A and B are shown apart, each in its own frame.
Chain A
Amino acid sequence: MELVVASAVGVLTAGGVYLILRLRAFPVILGLALLSYAVNVFLFATGRLAINAPPVLQKYGEAAYTDPLPQALVLTAIVISFGMTAVLVMIALGAYIEADDDRIDMTGDDEAAGKDSTA
């Protein structure tokens, strides 16, 4: 099971990193979404894995509980990463509407290349 989680985190990270290295805003946003999954699952996994042991206290008898702290941290992280994604989307959208182009690299070469492609 550990291998499954670790490899999933690795795959999500690799996909996310590849996408954030693209040249357009939208793939970068997708990449950040993938990275958010990866980071959240990774943080959650620092509490180690347990099955059928949710951190909800049972009234009767002894029960095993998994580590609640990473869960609490990840819960807010999920919501915050949504906020971050929303802001990013908004900025990307604004930039696109203003500039009619959703390229994100602003080097001299790229500007020239951008002109070439539109010409």
Chain B
Amino acid sequence: MSSGSSLLPIIAILPFLGALVPGVMIRAGRSACATFTAIPTILALVMLGVLVPDVMRGEVIQWRVEWLPQLGLSASFFLDGLGMLFAGMILGMGLLITLYARFYLSGEDPMGQFYTYLLLFQGAMLGIVISDNILLLLIFWELTSLTSFLLIGYWKHLPEGRQGARMALAVTGAGGLAMIGGMLILGQIAGSYELTEILTQGDAIKASEWYLPALILILIGAFTKSAQFPFHFWLPHAMAAPTPVSAYLHSATMVKAGVFLMARMWPVLAGTDAWFYIVATTGLVTMVLGALIAIFKDDLKALLAFSTVSHLGLLTMLLGFGTKFAAIVAVFHVINHLTFKAALFMSAGIVDHEAHTRDIKRLGGLAKLMPITAAIGMVTALSMAGIPLFNGFLSKEMMLDAASETAWAGSHWAVPAAATLGALLSVAYSFRFIAHVFLGPVRDDYPSKPHDPPFGMWAAPAFLAVFVVLIGVLPAVVVGPLVAVAGGAVIGGGELPYYSLKIWHGVNTALIMSIIAVAGGLVVLSLHRPLDRLWQAAPRPEAKVIFDALIDASAAVTGWVTRALHNGAISRYLAIFVVATVGLGIAAWNGGALAPRTREMLPIPPVVAVGWVLLVVATFLVVTMHRRRFQALVLIGVIGLMVSVGFVYLSAPDLALTQISVETVTIMLLLLALHFLPKTTPLESPLWRRTRDGVIAVTAGVAVAGLAMAFLMRDFSSISDFHLANSYTGGGGTNVVNVILVDFRGYDTYGEIIVLGIAGLTIFALMEALLNGPAARRLRNADFANDRSRDRHPLMMVIATRAMMPIAVMVGVYIFLRGHNQPGGGFVAGLVISIALLMQYMASGFAWTQERKRIEYHAMIGWGVVVAGLTGVGAWLAGKPFLTSAYGYIDLPGIEEFGLGSAFLFDLGVFLTVLGAVMLMLYSLSRIARYAGETVNVEPMDYDPSSRVEAARNGGE
């Protein structure tokens, strides 16, 4: 790690931090907003500048933080020549685009949003080019797809914008998925997810049998991103974006990401036949096809878009050749393409902005009306055509040179001829751009009278045009060292091949090809009108139609599947769920090996057999009699009781205590609810349906029973021994279950009481919503008189519950206190005391009891969670992790010894939450009764004998 390496993560994060600012700064005005967008970019550029000398010396700057080393996940960045070139382009262009967009966007466009998207996108791009970890790279890769979606669809009111954005996202997103697969395979082969590591493993990767799948998947990702045939169609549709976006995405960044990736992976993937034939051929086809379509596009931006497709094809082809010379030419052309294409997009945007049209057929003669724009446009278009003295010429000559030496499937003329054709077509559309837009007579039917824009708008393209000329005239001086260091990074170190960046190489093959291209291009341009008619008449496949048909078909299929599975009937979901689960279980059962039995069966005493029969019969009766709801509830109670007894017998006293108290509360709850529900379930399912459900149910039952049996007959080791061994020494309690709850797995319990509290509050909130809505009126009108007992608060019950109240509370406290060492604890104690309280509600009615309540249940839940939480936090004071327990023993005379520790306080929190939640639930339910016309009783019982004695006395006097 060199001293400057810590700047790398800061560079990577700056755009993301900066993205927070424009949305706020837009309130200070548009210029302030643009300025604050530029600041993070400038800062990042300055930091990059600090690192440049080191990189130019050939150093690779690395920075890494391990995150999940087991998974190969780390936040690691590195900067070499290639990364530096791209980072510089991304940031530099970002700055120019920020300036341009300030003047381009109209007052109605939300500018803060635009700059936020722009910075997010910039950050994502930057992440791609400086990531070392390929998993991190993939994340940034996906981020560019997402953020470019936002940018392309920026004009949300335009349907083309939305469709173009969706198409770009679908295509590049799908490619990204393929690339994830490819990258993971690559990481597996190389044994590391660090690029710097992978790049040294070229031979191993090419020799691996997984090389081809990895190559194809990665290339799908790169081709979709870089709009290579047959995925090229999204790029022209993305032109619906505002021009600054097009200029940024389609010249310097987004579409170059694929090229960057191919260049990055060049040392490990290139050089094989597969690489050559896939990449070079795709590039060649894309180059020619893109240029051909571009000639016949009348929309300025569409012309430039297809020209971009063509140039990306050129770059892909160069990388595909697999020679070091071609790779360096590709790097050089990346720089040149950036300068002229971004300037061209910006001048097209200026024309559109000023003339209110970008239809070439409605333009012409602009050179006289807007000379500055015309000069910029013409200079850059000449460069695009590959005319000497401009930088496009140099890289095109070198490209033709590389092509002339490439044999394709034994043929020595195929590649040079196709390359010349591509160059010819590119001359034709470039000249068309100049001739049909800027030259010719001035017209009088422009939608708006064009004139040169303010300086701020043409400054950025002019700056780039200056570069076009500078590089074109003095290539070796201006970009020579940069090309050398970036090219060296692409080819993976070692000797640079011979190449020379100069204008005059003598009369060689490339020059002759170039001359043919220019002459042919002029001929095509002169024949443009008849050719155009021919082209418009010829049938061509329309990519958008095919794409839309594909999308519609897949939407129809998924819609059909969704409707088949989710038709609104929950019984169907549940049936599918049960069948699928059982099916998966069976598959797993058949797929795995079962260990031999290691346990003997325990004997079955007669009492247990009786309990089992009771449980089975009760279950059977619940199922057969479930239409009579009260009876079914009573039978459920029997089952719960049997389960509790089973827990007692099978050495689980804590579970038995909890089960039986929960059982009581649940039955009370269901009884309360049933008061307002129909008392019977009508017979609705036909017989076939009940049979089908029965078959599903029995299958599931048999499967679960088999699984349970398999578990029960085998020994396996778990972490339970640790808990048994450390319960007393570590947790200070002899009841291991309770110690696990409040100590070993305290975090878990803490979460669970919060869930319980939330459930209680949810019920309260539901009830509030219900009783404030139309349901309340319905309830008032409902007639429950027939269900109502005449003696709702019987004397016997009132007296009995009063007498039991202190006893029950006493039992609760006892269970709570002994919990740490004997069966019991906060959960059970909370339930026991809530049952005691519920009995008061049942005996004397809601209002009477409510008036005597001192604490709000909501607050009790809150306090419970707070007490438990503070207990956990208390451990921090002792410098221990959250929820570490401390304990001691208190031996008060007269009562059992009990442990007093932090776990005790934690259990108190559990107790309070459970009590609060249970009470809140049942209390909410009983509130319905008030709305249903229940009379409010102020006396503890309906019939008080003592009052009658009073009355008799009074009457007697």
Contact = CB atoms under 8 A, between A and B. Distances in A.
Interface string A11-46: 111111111111111111110011001101110111
A89 B669 contact: yes
A46 B669 CA distance: 30
Given A10-B702, A49-B602, A96-B676, 12 more contacts: A4-B608, A5-B650, A10-B705, A11-B615, A17-B578, A34-B639, A55-B724, A76-B741, A78-B659, A90-B673, A102-B678, A104-B571
A98 B774 contact: yes
A107 to B, nearest CB: 4
A54 B619 contact: no
Chain A: interface secondary structure?
helix
Interface string B751-782: 01001100110110011011001110011000
Contact of B697 (A18, A24, A91, A98): A18
Given A10-B705, A26-B629, A53-B651, A78 B700 contact: no
Given A1-B603, A78-B655, A80-B756, A46 B678 contact: no
Nearest to B633: A30
**Size category of the binding interface on chain B:** 35 or more
Contacts of A17: 578, 693, 696-697, 700-701
Given A21-B693, A41-B646, A87 B759 contact: yes
Given A10-B701, A97-B779, A4 B603 contact: no
Which A-B residue pairs are the 10 nearest by beta carbons?
Answer: A10-B705, A14-B701, A1-B602, A83-B759, A105-B569, A18-B697, A57-B734, A72-B740, A68-B736, A17-B697
Given A2-B709, A87-B763, A37 B704 contact: no
Contact of A78 (B658, B705, B715, B779): B658
A8 B821 contact: no
A6 B741 contact: no
B653 A54 contact: yes
B745 interface: yes
B670 A51 contact: no
Nearest to A27: B626
B652 A37 contact: no
A56 B827 contact: no
Contacts of A45: 708, 711-712
B694 interface: yes
Interface string A76-90: 101110111111011
A105 B571 contact: yes
A62 interface: no
Given A10-B704, A37-B643, A97-B779, A21 B571 contact: yes
Interface in B811-830: 821-823, 827
Contact of A54 (B572, B652, B718, B775): B652
Contacts of A49: 602, 650, 712
B740 A6 contact: no
Interface string B564-602: 000111111011001000000000000000000001011
A13 B699 CA distance: 10
Contacts of A7: 612, 616, 705
Q: Which of A15, A19, A52, A91 has the most CB of B within 10 A?
A: A15
Contacts of A87: 759, 762-763, 766
Interface residues of A, number: 91
B677 A96 contact: yes
A26 B681 contact: yes
Interface in B612-626: 612, 615-616, 619-620, 622-623, 626
A44 B176 CA distance: 45
B658 A50 contact: no
B895 interface: no
B571 A22 contact: yes
B736 A8 contact: no
Interface in B141-189: none
Contacts of B954: none
Contacts of B755: 80, 83
B682 interface: yes
Contact of B775 (A22, A41, A76, A97): A97
A72 B745 contact: yes
B652 A90 contact: no
20 contacts: A1-B608, A5-B646, A10-B704, A12-B615, A15-B623, A18-B697, A41-B643, A49-B602, A57-B736, A79-B827, A82-B666, A83-B759, A83-B921, A85-B669, A86-B759, A97-B676, A102-B678, A105-B569, A110-B569, A117-B684
Contacts of B736: 55-57, 65, 68
A78 B770 CA distance: 28
B766 A94 contact: yes
A69 B737 CA distance: 7
A82 B745 CA distance: 21
A2 B735 contact: no
B924 interface: yes
A17 B695 CA distance: 10
Interface of B: 567-572, 574-575, 578, 599, 601-604, 608-609, 612, 615-616, 619-620, 622-623, 626, 629, 632-633, 636, 639-640, 643, 646-647, 649-655, 658-659, 662, 665-666, 669-670, 673-674, 676-678, 681-682, 684-685, 693-694, 696-698, 700-702, 704-709, 711-713, 715, 718-720, 723-724, 727-728, 734-737, 740-741, 745, 748-749, 752, 755-756, 759-760, 762-763, 766-767, 769-770, 773-775, 778-779, 821-823, 827, 831, 914, 917-918, 921, 924-925, 928
B31 to A, nearest CB: 55
A67 B759 CA distance: 30
Contacts of A90: 673, 762-763, 766-767, 921, 924-925
By CB atoms of chain B within 10 A, which of A4, A5, A97 has the most?
Answer: A97
B694 to A, nearest CB: 6
A45 B710 CA distance: 10
A61 B735 CA distance: 16
B670 A8 contact: no
Contacts of A9: 704-705, 708
B13 to A, nearest CB: 41
A93 B720 contact: no
Contacts of A91: 766
A7 B709 CA distance: 8
Nearest to B579: A17
Contacts of A86: 669, 759-760, 763, 921
Nearest to A76: B752
B305 to A, nearest CB: 47
Contacts of B601: 1-3
Contacts of A24: 681-682, 684
Contacts of A2: 599, 601-602, 709, 712-713
B568 A83 contact: no
Interface centre among B620, B666, B682 (most CB of A within 10 A): B666
Nearest to B710: A6
B693 A79 contact: no
A77 B58 CA distance: 62
Given A2-B709, A55-B735, A84 B759 contact: yes
Contacts of B609: 4
B578 to A, nearest CB: 6
Nearest to B722: A69
Contacts of A82: 662, 665-666, 918
A85 B570 contact: no
Given A24-B681, A71-B652, A44 B647 contact: yes
Contacts of A5: 646, 650, 708, 712
Contacts of A46: 711
A66 B666 contact: no
Nearest to B698: A14
Contacts of B649: 51
A112 interface: no
Nearest to A91: B766
Q: Which of A12, A80, A84 has the most CB of B within 10 A?
A: A12
Given A13-B700, A66-B651, A98-B774, A8 B677 contact: no
Nearest to A10: B705
